[in-house]
């Protein structure tokens, strides 16, 4: 089955992209736990971020009721609130994270692989993109296999290309694509650090690839994006 466009009509008019992003990591983790060696396990980390929106609709009808609006000779009395109390002052809201993590239980729950599902918030502002890229760079430097899956069609930024630029590498083959999937790992070979990648450009209407998820330098398992994506869509009744 093909990749759907979860950010434009007609699907976006009937289903929210958060439904896919919230459920897909769990399906990936379940699939990995079925094939991982006994000393490894996979879990899900979903952080909703600090950008929380409350949608309140206010409508003007033919009649107004309540004590906040009083009339005197047909004129409305102007109501003014008291000075506010500072409830919270924080940094710029952070975007949500949708992540699958794989741990090695032989080494005190050592993180060995991370699958990052890109959200629109990861791609919208320079500071959000920098935070995502820096996180991936830090994981690679710790020899954690990093997989980036970007199906966000509503924004064109390519976080993998920005990661390559941050690492000092040439632009990757998928740099011009807004959606892609890539697995990366960092290795130390004869005193030199190198980053290897398996990249795929994605297309709406085409199947998703299977990527290598590296547990050690010699051992990897398949990350079956197409199968887990279809299981998620079936479970959410996304046609």
**Residue 71: inside a domain:** no
The answer to whether residues 92 and 38 touch, using CB atoms and an 8 Å cutoff, is: no
**Residue 156: inside a domain:** yes
**Residue 116: inside a domain:** yes
Tens digits of residue pLDDT in 4-49: 999 999 999 999 999 999 999 999 999 999 999 999 999 998 776 5
Mean pLDDT of 76-87: 59
Distance of alpha carbon 156 from alpha carbon 179, whole angstroms? 8
Tens digits of residue pLDDT in 148-173: 999 999 999 999 999 999 999 999 99
**Residue 62: inside a domain:** no
The region that residue 135 occupies, defined by phi over 0 for left and psi between -120 and 50 for alpha, beta otherwise, is alpha
**Residue 63: inside a domain:** no
Distance of alpha carbon 72 from alpha carbon 219, whole angstroms? 80
Helix (H) or strand (E) holding 181: strand 180-189
**In whole numbers, what is the pLDDT of the chain averaged over residues?**
84
The pLDDT assigned to 93 comes to 47
Return the top range by mean pLDDT from 17-31, 52-66, 68-82, 87-101: 17-31
Distance of alpha carbon 33 from alpha carbon 46, whole angstroms? 18
The answer to whether residues 237 and 8 touch, using CB atoms and an 8 Å cutoff, is: no
- What the block records as the tokens of 220 is 């990897």
What is the number of domains present in the chain? 1
Distance of alpha carbon 165 from alpha carbon 175, whole angstroms? 10
CA angle at residue 79 from 75 to 80, to 5 degrees?
150
**Residue 32: inside a domain:** yes
Between 119 and 70, name the one with better pLDDT.
119
Cis peptide upstream of residue 158 (ω within 30 degrees of 0): no
**Residue 53: inside a domain:** no
Which band of pLDDT confidence, cut at 50, 70 and 90, is reported for residue 108? Answer: confident
Domain coverage including residue 34: 11-48+92-235
**Residue 85: inside a domain:** no
């Amino acid at each position: 089955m093909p990749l759907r466009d979860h950010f434009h009509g007609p699907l976006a008019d009937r289903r929210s992209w958060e439904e896919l992003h919230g459920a897909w990591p769990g399906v990936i983790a379940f699939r990995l736990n079925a094939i991982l060696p006994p000393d490894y396990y996979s879990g899900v980390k979903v952080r909703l971020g600090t950008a929380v929106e409350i949608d309140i609709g206010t409508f003007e009808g033919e009649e107004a009721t309540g004590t906040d609006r009083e009339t005197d000779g047909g004129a409305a009395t102007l109501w003014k609130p008291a000075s506010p109390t500072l409830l919270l002052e924080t940094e710029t809201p952070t975007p949500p994270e949708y992540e699958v993590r794989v741990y090695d239980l032989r080494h005190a729950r050592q993180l060995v692989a991370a699958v990052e599902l890109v959200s629109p918030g990861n791609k919208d502002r320079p500071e959000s993109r920098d935070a995502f890229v820096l996180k991936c760079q830090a994981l690679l430097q710790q020899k954690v296999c990093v997989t980036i899956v970007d199906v966000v069609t509503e924004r064109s930024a390519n976080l993998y290309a920005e990661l390559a630029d941050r690492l000092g590498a040439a632009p990757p083959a998928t740099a011009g694509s807004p959606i892609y999937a890539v697995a990366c790992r960092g290795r130390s070979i004869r005193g030199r650090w190198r980053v290897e990648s398996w990249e795929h450009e994605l297309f709406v209407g085409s199947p998703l690839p299977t990527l290598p998820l590296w547990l050690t330098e010699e051992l990897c398992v398949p990350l079956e994006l197409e199968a887990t994506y279809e299981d998620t869509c079936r479970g959410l009744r996304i046609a």
